[in-house]
Structure 1
Amino acid sequence: DWHRAEDLLQEAFARAWRHSAMFDGDIDKARPWLFTVVRNLVIDHHRACRIRPVETQLSDVQETVSADESDRVLTARVVAEAVAELPGQQREVITLMYFSGYTVTQAAERLGIPAGTVKSRSYYAMRELRRLLADRGVLLGD
């Protein structure tokens, strides 16, 4: 474990720095002491790992991103409020076509009006919805 090795080495050098007066610049005295310190740090780490659960490395962690539904819910709420402001006939056509999934022909049959009237009402309703949503700051994709 590269990161653990770096941590152990850093700790060994910190201890050597704190005890540097003990060696008076004599590297022959410091070397065995430093090996002993590193050996003890590795043993301590090994013992600690047996007691604690295994640490997970960052490279092993799979990021799971869950979709944030709040933006979608807020947008749906704003759209529903805008639809409620449409004139009754336009609101009825939009509700049938976009919320209930009716085709132009099915909506025309349900409402008892010609298909051209359904198309016309849906066109003007969509234009009005764009305006209402733009006033509320909702960005629409084309």
Structure 2
Amino acid sequence: MTQRRKHARRRDAAAIVESLYREYRSPLLAFCLNLTGGDRHWAEDVAQETMVRAWRRADELDPAAVSMMPWLATVARRIVIDDLRARNVRPQEVGQEPLEFVPGRDLIEPMLRRIVVTDAVRGLPRPQREAVVETMLRDRSVDDAARHLAVPVGTVKSRVHYAVRALRVSLAEPMAS
């Protein structure tokens, strides 16, 4: 085949695809949107690939056909099927965002909180620490804690009150520095 003939065939193919694009752009995109479940980016990719395949096979297309939409729809459907099969074969993609922004289970933060709170509770005077441990950590009522510690109920309430105040101050200090 001569160089002139190749150039003429390319020009004819381009004209056919331009004509297809002008006439079928909107209905093809609507069809692709339906095929892809409304995913506009994927639908645009499918429509574009359909037009590329039409351009590659332009010499096989019948310009005298009543409508090229059935052929375009068949090609688009096959592209979507191939995409779905390819997605099922390879591992699931994580998304477009950088990995540092992908939510994940943070195991360090809870551990650090436990260490800070434990140190703060250890820093309390013994009577206040015992009242906090019995009421908050062992989840005992004030009455039960008073019986266990062998002190009046009012004393347990007072110790817990002052312990919580001291803990607030103690836990606020590291954040300020």
What is the TM-score when the length of structure 2 is the normalising length? Answer: 0.49
CA shift at 1:85, angstroms?
0.9
Aligned partner of 1:7 in structure 2 is: 45
Compare relative contact order (CA 8 Å, sep 6+) and give the higher one, 1 or 2: 1
Aligned partner of 1:112 in structure 2 is: 150
Matches of residues 122-133 of structure 1 in structure 2 within 5 Å? 122-133=160-171
Matches of residues 11-50 of structure 1 in structure 2 within 5 Å? 11-14=49-52, 38=72, 41-42=75-76, 45=79, 48=82
- List per-residue Cα deviations over 1:29-83 (Å, max 9, x = no partner): 6x89x87984784475377479654899xxxxxxxx8875654443233211210
CA contact (8 A) 2:135 2:145 kept: yes
C-alpha change, 1:46 and 1:104, in structure 2 (3 Å) is closer
1:88 maps to 2:117: no
State the SS of the aligned residue for 1:126. Answer: helix
Structure 2, unpaired ranges of 5+: 1-34, 93-102
State the SS of the aligned residue for 1:136. Answer: helix
**How far apart, in 1, do the equivalents of 2:152 and 2:75 lie?**
85
CA contact (8 A) 2:47 2:76 kept: no
C-alpha change, 1:118 and 1:18, in structure 2 (3 Å) is same
Aligned partner of 1:102 in structure 2 is: 140
- % identical equivalent positions: 33
C-alpha change, 1:130 and 1:43, in structure 2 (3 Å) is closer
What is the TM-score when the length of structure 1 is the normalising length? Answer: 0.59
**How far apart, in 2, do the equivalents of 1:50 and 1:101 lie?**
54
Which is worse superposed, 82-91 or 36-45?
A: 36-45
CA contact (8 A) 1:97 1:104 kept: yes
State the SS of the aligned residue for 2:113. Answer: helix
CA contact (8 A) 1:82 1:129 kept: yes
